[in-house]
Chain A
């Protein structure tokens, strides 16, 4: 197939959108419908990998669609950070689709056509965010992502889902309109452009107070990064079916948030300017507080998905913190953490869903002894937990290493200890779950009789992501090279 890279770039955004037509048209035949999704995600992955190879060969891939307002274009380009995000999202979409087939059917969920349709739109907007060439384009897809995931969060249609959806949309839409949009318009007013440029777009003699205020607006406004106190939407979104929580709220949506934070820090402010802004230190402490507090809250959750959600809030804090450190180690750690956390957390969510489907359990206290019936799931849970904690043999080791280096380099000793304490907390709230599943709870045997592993597609999916966690440890070079290239461009 001789298709230009530019075409592939555009198709990676348009294709999932087109797939919605196929999904709706084949809505009556589930097997056909899911094959549309699988085929689309395979083709999408093929495109993204091609783009990746193009990027490695040093090709300059960019496309401009049209000018929406004078001087403000919808345009896309491929650069290492976006590539990293696109690779993760498109690969995990494929895996999640496989998982969802097992989960949605055995859970007998209603309105599956709507589910797969909204999912495809969300992926399209994730691609738009990943490849956006300017802040304006990014913002448009950021909002589309919020709206297209609302029906997914409220999928169940119950009173609870409605409440969760209200918080989800309320926080994400309010922060984006009130702070993010204001930050963008202010940037446009001060810098005269919104293009992502290496080294940033602000003049070196820009008023530091104004730029510092704009930075605060950005960090508050990018609600998807779930910095406390704007994190409440994430636990609220857990009313969604598990595949949604897995892909969107461990990978696509939250990573779109921290990805945007990284983009803004590196390509709008530039790390040189970022390091001297008066508000950076305050925001670093805010991120640190978010890491610690969310970990503490996570310890108190008995609902597995809620615990994982707070754990995500905490881990997102790492990425924001790394970006704000404004050093190359910080930025590299953050971008690698996008990948390693994605694989770790999606595995954990897959496990949570598998347990729900197979054993109908959502409370951690009920999972004692479950390791005997569901050994694969629980083993996967264990390995993924290690990755979140950041110990070998899992990928999380590398990203946390760089983040720690970043804090030491900049002599942020308080933040360094925050990272260490939080890792200990991670151990405390994650590891007991597989531990109790395998080694205690004989008395539960009577009630847990007859429980088997989750459906095969789900099991395959969670095995693949678990292996991914390990591969990222053994073979981190591609990830490392991409992360290193971000600041080199």
Chain B
């Protein structure tokens, strides 16, 4: 059984999705989805444990040898990602039943859970697989389920947001497909490991450069890197709250994973960073992303929009860490991947709770919530502090590594800019604090009570995780460091 974990990781939620149709009551479906997601979390923890103790796991699907068959290759990097995705998915699902009852019509509940599980399976698949074409297949599953999930939003704008995402997402996926096609043409293989061996032989050809460009741009569209981020704010703002919490914490992480996998493993460090001005390009775009998106966040009146822009800014930090292209830099990116999932998971879940109670995520509606929903608002404050990077929260840990990485490289001005960027976070977080704590409640909201426990438990699980992993950094730092060392081929 244990040897089949890599495929079980993906197949369990994938097969569970259609099974939902046989369950008649929405509650039951929810419970089933929760159990499935919990199973996925269990599997991913076991996988991470295995990888950390005994190294990369290679699993051949159906017993076919690679490169003919599809191969799943689990190393520290994707084991880490699998854990993040399945953990967040489980915690978020916990609140789903309560949340969607107010946001999605009764008859679509089963559909929601099917899409959710499909989306989960696809993300896990993208991360687990060692086959480039398989990545594309799962990417499509994940995208299609995402479009549908976003379109389930209560506001009619959700349809438009979903359509925007559909167009951009399809362009991105097509680019990736073209890139993979070109790579296949040059090397005759789709297996990532095989590609990494064969590509250097042909790397000086124009076709490989073109393939690289297509793949990178495609991925950057998916990960909403500035300036390809335009689809993201609306998609996050108008999707059902639970979907936003799930996607904000996981979807862009998957895209970052792909970026790392393609540049570091498949094309290789020397190709990605020496033949192309990728480093320069990414530092500039990353920093621009931080500043433009953070500034945009300051001016938002809808809190979901606000945190969506903040997500784009946080992606900027990951991109900067990535572009440093040293072990410390990549460690910072991977740490932030993990830490940002915890922050945004907590924040968007807390927003879901607010939406559940007051039916809106407009900043003006937050007046007086500090008194009426103290536990939820406290979660938002702590999540916000983590976003700013205050010590004893996870945000501080990632910032420490990122600034250290940048300074190690001698990029002093970039270090200053990164810290300056986090001051913008102070501004947008404090706008919420001031409205919630210093203004009297609106007359329409006078009867608003604290969110139910089904929200508070998952929210505070994530909030406490924000603090716990800010104090006990052994797990996150060790795994991130090990993953980044193995990508650089440095033995720990």
Name A's B-contacting residues (CB within 8 A): 66, 68-70, 139-140, 143-144, 147, 154, 157, 159, 161-162, 166, 169-170, 173-174, 177-178, 181-182, 185-186, 188-189
Measured CB to CB, the nearest residue on chain B to A185 is: B403
For the complex, is B285 an interface residue (Cβ under 8 Å from A)?
A: no
B397 is an interface residue with CB less than 8 A from chain A? yes
**In the complex, what residues of B have CB within 8 A of residue A182's CB?**
403, 415-416, 419
Bound CA span A177–B418, Å: 10
**CA distance in complex: A139, B420 (Å):** 18
Choice from A68, A139, A178 contacting B423 with Cβ under 8 Å: A178
Residue ID in chain A nearest B438 by CB atoms: A162
CB-contact partner of A69 in B400, B403, B437, under 8 A: B400
Q: Report A175 CB to chain B, min CB distance, Å.
A: 10
B18 contacts A by Cβ under 8 Å: no
What residues of B have a CB within 8 angstroms of the CB of A147 in the complex?
385, 390
Closest Cβ neighbor of A157 among chain B residues: B438
Which residues from chain B contact A143 at a C-beta distance below 8 Å? 390-391
Nearest chain B CB to A156 CB, angstrom units: 10
Segment of B241-249, B456-464, B471-479 in the binding face: B471-479
Chain A CB within 8 A of B203 CB: no
Closest beta carbon of chain A to B386's beta carbon, Å: 12
Contact B404 A188 (CB under 8 A): yes
Given the complex of chains A and B, what is the CA–CA distance between A162 and B397 in angstroms? 30
Please name 15 pairs of A and B residues whose Cβ atoms are closer than 8 Å in the assembled complex, sorted by A. A69-B400, A143-B390, A144-B392, A157-B438, A166-B430, A166-B434, A169-B430, A170-B426, A173-B388, A174-B423, A174-B426, A177-B389, A178-B420, A182-B416, A189-B408
By secondary structure, the A interface counts as: helix
Residues of B within 8 A of A170 (CB): 426
**B365 proximal to A (CB < 8 A):** no
Residues of A near B416 (CB, < 8 A) are 178, 182
| Contact assessment for A70 and B434 in the assembled complex, using a CB-CB cutoff below 8 Å | no
Q: Is A70 in contact with B477, judged by CB distance below 8 angstroms? A: yes
Q: Identify the B interface with A (CB < 8 A).
A: 385, 388-392, 397, 399-400, 403-404, 407-408, 415-416, 419-420, 422-423, 426, 430, 434, 437-438, 471-473, 477
Q: Which A residues are CB-close (under 8 A) to B407?
A: 185-186, 189
List of A residues within 8 angstroms of B392 by Cβ: 140, 144
The answer to whether B423 and A185 have CB atoms under 8 Å apart is no
A485 to B260, CA, bound (A): 54
Inter-chain contacts of A161 with B (CB < 8 A)? 438
Residue pair B426, A181 in contact (C-beta under 8 Å): no
Shortest beta-carbon distance from A279 to chain B in Å: 16
Residue of A nearest to B420 (CB): A178
CA A154 to CA B370, docked complex, whole Å:
14
Which residues of A sit under 8 angstroms from B423, Cβ to Cβ?
173-174, 177-178
Total CB contacts across the A-B interface at under 8 A: 62
The reply to whether B422 and A177 form a contact with Cβ atoms under 8 Å apart is yes
Q: Which residue of B lies closest to A139 (CB)?
A: B391
Chain A residues near B438 (CB, 8 Å)? 154, 157, 159, 161-162
A66 to B437, CA, bound (A): 35
Knowing that A166-B430, A177-B388 are A-B contacts, what are 8 other residue pairs whose CB atoms are under 8 Å apart, sorted by A's residue number? A68-B473, A143-B391, A162-B434, A169-B430, A177-B419, A177-B423, A181-B403, A182-B416
User: Given the complex of chains A and B, what is the CA–CA distance between A173 and B364 in angstroms?
Assistant: 26
B391 touches A144 (CB 8 A): yes
CA distance A18 to B39 in the complex (A): 39
Give Cα distance in the complex from A133 to B423, angstroms: 28
Nearest 8 interchain pairs by C-beta: A140-B391, A162-B438, A178-B419, A185-B403, A143-B391, A189-B407, A174-B423, A185-B404
A166 to B438, CA, bound (A): 12
A147, A162, A174, A181 interface centre (most CB from chain B within 10 Å) = A181
Which of A66, A154, A189 is the one whose CB lies under 8 Å from B472? A66
CA distance A169 to B384 in the complex (A): 14
- Whether B397 lies near A69 (C-beta < 8 A) is yes
Tell which of B391, B416, B426, B437 has the most Cβ of chain A within 10 Å.
B391
Complexed CA–CA distance, A140 and B423 (Å): 17
Q: CB-CB < 8 A to B415: which residues of A?
A: 182, 185
B52 to chain A, nearest CB (A): 16
A170-B438 Cα distance, complex, nearest whole Å: 17
Name the residue in B385, B403, B408, B416 with the highest tally of chain A Cβ atoms < 10 Å from its Cβ: B403
Which residues of A are found within 8 Å of B400, using beta-carbon distances?
69, 185
Contact of A181 among B385, B419, B430, B472 (CB under 8 A): B419
| Chain B, Cβ-Cβ closest to A174 | B423
Residue of B at shortest CB range from A72? B400
| A166: B residues at CB distance < 8 A | 430, 434
Chain A residues with CB under 8 A of B419: 177-178, 181-182
Inter-chain contacts of B391 with A (CB < 8 A): 139-140, 143-144
Task: Kindly provide the distance from the CB of A138 to the nearest chain B CB, expressed in whole angstroms.
Answer: 10
Closest chain B residue to A170, Cβ basis: B426
* Closest Cβ–Cβ distance, residue B191 to chain A (whole Å): 36
Q: How far is A189 from B415 in the complex, measured between Cα atoms in Å?
A: 13
What is the minimal beta-carbon distance from A4 to any residue of chain B, in angstroms? 25
**B390 cross-chain contacts in A, Cβ below 8 A:** 143, 147
How far, in Å, is B379 (CB) from chain A's closest CB? Answer: 16
Complex Cα distance, B384 from A173, in Å, reads 14
User: Which residues from chain B contact A178 at a C-beta distance below 8 Å?
Assistant: 416, 419-420, 423
- Complex CA gap A326/B400 in Å reads 30
Instruction: Knowing A68-B473, A144-B392, A147-B390 are in contact, say whether A173-B403 is a contact too (CB < 8 A).
Output: no
Residue on B nearest A181 in the bound complex, by CB: B419
What is the CA–CA distance of A70 and B437 in the complex, to the nearest angstrom? Answer: 38
Task: Report the separation of the CA atoms of residues A157 and B391 in the bound assembly, to the nearest whole angstrom.
Answer: 26
**With A and B bound together, what is the CA distance between A159 and B385 in angstroms?**
23
What's the least CB distance linking A486 to chain B, in Å?
26
- Shortest Cβ distance from A190 into B: residue: B407
CB nearest to B478 among chain A residues: A70
A180 to chain B, nearest CB (A): 10
Nearest CB of chain B from residue A365's CB, rounded to whole Å: 31
CB-nearest residue of chain B to A154: B438
A70 to B480, CA, bound (A): 13
By a CB distance below 8 angstroms, the chain A residues around B437 are 157
Residues of A within 8 Å of B397, CB to CB, are 69
Q: Considering only CB atoms, which chain A residue lies closest to B397 in the complex? A: A69
Cα separation A182 to B412 with both chains bound (whole Å): 10
Question: Would you give the shortest CB distance from B32 to chain A, in whole angstroms?
Answer: 40
Closest chain A residue, CB of each to CB of B425:
A177
In the bound complex, how far is the Cα of B492 from the Cα of A109, in angstroms?
59
Residue of B nearest to A161 (CB): B438
Give complex CA distance A144, B470 in Å: 14
Q: How far is the CA of A140 from the CA of B391 in the complex (A)?
A: 5
Distance (whole angstroms) from the CB of A290 to the closest CB of chain B: 23
Inter-chain contacts of A144 with B (CB < 8 A): 391-392
- Chain A residues with CB under 8 Å of B472's CB are 66
Residues of B contacting A157 in the complex (Cβ-Cβ under 8 angstroms): 437-438
Q: CA A139 – CA B472 in complex, angstroms?
A: 17
Look across to chain B and name the residue whose beta carbon is closest to the beta carbon of A162. Answer: B438
Cα of A174 to Cα of B222 in the assembled complex, Å: 33
In the complex, what distance in Å separates the CA atom of A147 from the CA atom of B407?
Answer: 28
- Min CB distance, B163 to chain A, in Å? 40
* CA distance in complex: A114, B469 (Å): 28
Q: Which B residues are in CB contact (< 8 Å) with A188?
A: 404
Q: Which of B385, B392, B408, B477 has the most CB of A within 10 A?
A: B392
Name the distance in Å between B410's Cβ and chain A's nearest Cβ.
Answer: 10
> Is there an interface contact between A69 and B426, defined as CB atoms closer than 8 Å?
no
Q: Are A189's CB and B471's CB within 8 A?
A: no
When distances are taken between beta carbons in the complex, the residues of chain B under 8 Å from A181 are 399, 403, 419
Once the chains are docked, how many angstroms separate the CA of A66 from the CA of B415? 27
Contact yes or no, B404 A189, CB < 8 A = yes
| Closest chain B residue to A69, Cβ basis | B473
Residues in A whose Cβ lies below 8 Å from that of B426: 169-170, 173-174, 177
Minimum CB distance partner of A142 in chain B: B391
Q: A232–B452 Cα gap in the complex (Å)?
A: 42
Docked complex Cα distance between A391 and B430 (Å): 45
Complex CA–CA separation, A178 to B391 (angstroms): 14
Determine the distance from Cα of A177 to Cα of B419 in the docked complex, in whole angstroms. Answer: 6
B434 contacts which chain A residues (CB < 8 A)?
162, 166
